[in-house]
Structure 1
Amino acid sequence: MSVWLPPLRHPVREIGAHTFDFSRRVAVMAVVNRTPDSFYDKGATFGLDAAVRACLAAVKAGADWIDIGGVPFKPGPPLPVDDEIARVVPVIEALRRESDVVISVDTFQPQVARHAIVAGADVINDTTGIRDETLAEIVADSAATLVITHSLAEPRTAYPRPRYDDVVAEVVEFLRDRVGLAVASGVPESRIVIDPGHDLNKNTLHTLELTRRFDEIAAIGLPALAAVSNKDFIGETLDAERGDRLEGSLAAAVYCITQGARVVRMHNVRESVAAVRMTETILGLRDPAYLKHNMGDVNEE
C-alpha cells in the first residue's frame, strides 16, 4: 500500500523514447554543465569530450534524464546565442548517438531551444519561467517537454535581497500563471513540468520554506522538479563547502520526494539513484529488487 501523495492530472508522460508514470516513480535528472564557470564543477566538463563522458557515465550510473547546460544561472555577461548553441548541440548529438536517455537543455534562449530539439533534445529546461514567450512557442511546435522554473530576475542579472510575504504562495501563483502562458502558446499541460527554483533569487530561509512546503508546489497537479543538489541553502544550513554537500543534497531530495517531487536534479548520480529508489520503495511506489531475508525455512545471517 502506497502513502498519499498530491495527485497529478497527467501522470503518464511520453518523454523522448521513454514512458514515465509519475504516480509510480521518480526520475533522476543528472546535471552536466558545459561551462567554464559552473558553480559546482568549476569547468570540469567544459571540454566536449569531458562533457560527453560525463553524460555517458551518468547514464551508466542509472540516470533517467541528462540536463545539459551551456550558460550558468548566476549573474554575468550575456553569452552570444551562437556560442551557447556551439556548446550544447555537439553534446546532444554525441549523447543521442550512444543512448536513448532523456536529454534536456537548460536554456532560456529560443534559438538554442530550437537547435537543441533538432539535435535530439527531449526537454527544454527554462530557469527563467518563460521570460521570452517565443521559447514556449518553439516547444509547442515540437514534441518536447517544457520545464517552467520560478525566478524573479532578468536572465543572468543580480537580484539583491529578495523579499517575499509568503514565498511558497508567491511561487505557486507565478507557476500557475506561467503554466497558463505556456498552454496559451500551444504547449499542452501533458508536456509541462514545474520547478519552484530552489535558491534562484531566494535566500536560504526562503528555500528551506519551499522545501518544507513542497507539497503545495506539487498540489498544482503537474510533475514537480526539485533541483536541490549542492545548492547554497544546503551549504549554509550545514556549514559545508560545495564538495561536502552530498548528504545534505540527498536528504533534501528525499524530503521533497515525500512531499510530491517527481523529478530530482542531482550531481552525484549513483548515490542519488540509490536514495531515490529506496524512497520510492518505502513510499510503496515500487517493489524491492528481490526478497530473501527471513523468507525461507532457515534464517540466513
Structure 2
Amino acid sequence: MLQCGRFRLSLQRPLIMGIVNVTPDSFSDGGRYADPARALAHARQLVAEGADLLDIGGESTRPGAATVSETEELERVMPLLAALRDDGVPLSVDTVKPGVMRAALAAGVDLINDVNALQAEGAVEALADSGAAVCLMHKQGDPATMQQAPRYASVVDEVEHFLLQRAVVLRAAGVASARIVLDPGIGFGKTVEHNLELLKATGRLASQGYPLLIGVSRKSLLGALTGRPVEERIHASVAMALLAVARGARIVRVHDVAATRDALKMWEALQ
C-alpha cells in the first residue's frame, strides 16, 4: 500500500500517473493546457481514461527550462488543485519549491513529486508535517544545464545510493516508508546510454523496499531510439512503460493514459 494523503493506494497492480502540465513551455504539449479551463478538462479526461493519480506541474523541468517565480507557479497550480480537490482522485504536485509544497499541502494535495528529492531548505519539514506521499527523484545538475555532458562512474550505483540516502533522511524526519516513492529520473542529467542502463536495472531499483516510479513518456530518449518527433512517440512510450512494469516498476508517469491502460490490462491478463 502507498499512503498517499487522503488515499491508501494498492500497489498490487501498477498505477498510472497522468501528466497535467499547466506551463507554456512544456516539451510534450507546447503549452496546450496552460489555460485553466483546458487544463481542468484535460485532467478529467485523463481520469476518465483510467489515470490512478494526476500529477500537476506549474514549472517546466525540461532540459534548458528557465525557472519561474513561486508566485507564478502558485497562480498556475492552485486553481486546478481547488477544482479537482473533490473529484475523488489522488492529486500530486510536481514542484521543487517548499513554498509551493506548503500551499499545495494546505490545499489537500496527496503527493509531492520533487525532481530535487526534497533537498531545498524547508522541503523535508514541509512534507514531514503532512500525511502526503513523496516521490524522490534523482537528477544531475539543474534543468538549464543538466544535459551538458553528464558523467557517472556507475550510473546505477550512484542513482541507487542517492535515492536510498534521501529516503534515510526522510525516515529520520518521521516520514513512514509507506509514504515514499523513488524515481531514477530518466532524462534528468543522463545520456541515452545512462538512461538505458537505469531502465535495464529497474528490477534492482524496485527491490529496495520502496515503490519505483518510471517516467519516460515522450522523452528525448525515445526520439533518439526511434527517430520520431515528440508527437509521434506514443507507441514507444507505451512500450517502455510496459517493460518498466514487467521489470518491477509500480507507478508509470505518462501522457497517453488510455493507451497505457489498455497495454497494462493485456499484461495483467497474462500474469
Match of 1:200 in 2: 188
Distance 1:109 1:185 in 2: 18
Q: Is the counterpart of residue 269 in structure 1 residue 260 in structure 2? A: no
Cα displacement string for residues 266-296 of structure 1 (whole angstroms, at most 9, x for unaligned residues): 001111111122223323xxxxxxxxxxxxx
Question: 1:159-238, aligned counterparts within 5 Å?
Answer: 159-238=147-226
Which segment is superposed worse, 53-62 or 178-187? 178-187
Question: 1:70-219, aligned counterparts within 5 Å?
Answer: 70-74=58-62, 75-97=64-86, 99-154=87-142, 156-219=144-207
Distance 1:186 1:156 in 2: 33
Shift of residue 120 of structure 1? Answer: 2.3
Shift of residue 205 of structure 1? Answer: 1.1
Change over 3 Å in CA distance of 1:54–1:90 after alignment to 2: same
Distance 1:187 1:95 in 2: 26
Question: SS of the residue aligned with 1:261?
Answer: coil
The answer to whether the 8 Å contact 1:229/1:266 transfers is: yes
What amino acid sits opposite 1:53 in the alignment?
A
Match of 2:8 in 1: 19
* Structure 1 unaligned regions, length at least 5: 1-11, 284-301
The answer to whether the 8 Å contact 2:205/2:212 transfers is: yes
Distance 1:16 1:219 in 2: 24
The answer to whether the 8 Å contact 2:7/2:90 transfers is: yes
The answer to whether the 8 Å contact 1:150/1:197 transfers is: yes
Match of 2:231 in 1: 243
User: What is the count of residue pairs matched by the alignment?
Assistant: 270
* Structure 2 unaligned regions, length at least 5: none
Shift of residue 17 of structure 1? Answer: 4.1
Shift of residue 130 of structure 1? Answer: 1.9
What amino acid sits opposite 1:265 in the alignment?
R
Of 233, 236, 243, which aligns to 1:255? Answer: 243
Cα displacement string for residues 34-92 of structure 1 (whole angstroms, at most 9, x for unaligned residues): 00000000000001111111111011111000000000113333211011111101101
The answer to whether the 8 Å contact 1:229/1:249 transfers is: yes
Shift of residue 104 of structure 1? Answer: 0.1
Distance 2:269 2:171 in 1: 34
Which segment is superposed worse, 75-84 or 152-161? 152-161
What amino acid sits opposite 1:84 in the alignment?
E
Provide the TM-score with structure 1 as the length reference: 0.86
Of 69, 73, 82, which aligns to 2:57? Answer: 69
What amino acid sits opposite 1:21 in the alignment?
S
Distance 1:16 1:60 in 2: 21
Provide the TM-score with structure 2 as the length reference: 0.96
Asked which structure has the greater CA Rg, the reply is 1
Question: SS of the residue aligned with 1:193?
Answer: strand
What amino acid sits opposite 2:258 in the alignment?
R
Q: Is the counterpart of residue 42 in structure 1 residue 30 in structure 2? A: yes
Distance 1:105 1:87 in 2: 11
Q: Provide the alpha-carbon RMSD of the alignment.
A: 1.4
Distance 1:73 1:254 in 2: 24
The answer to whether the 8 Å contact 1:128/1:155 transfers is: no
Distance 1:205 1:56 in 2: 36
Match of 1:291 in 2: none
| Structure 1 residue ranges (4+ consecutive) displaced by more than 3 angstroms after TM superposition | 154-159
Match of 1:299 in 2: none
Shift of residue 19 of structure 1? Answer: 2.8
The answer to whether the 8 Å contact 1:104/1:123 transfers is: yes
Distance 1:181 1:156 in 2: 27
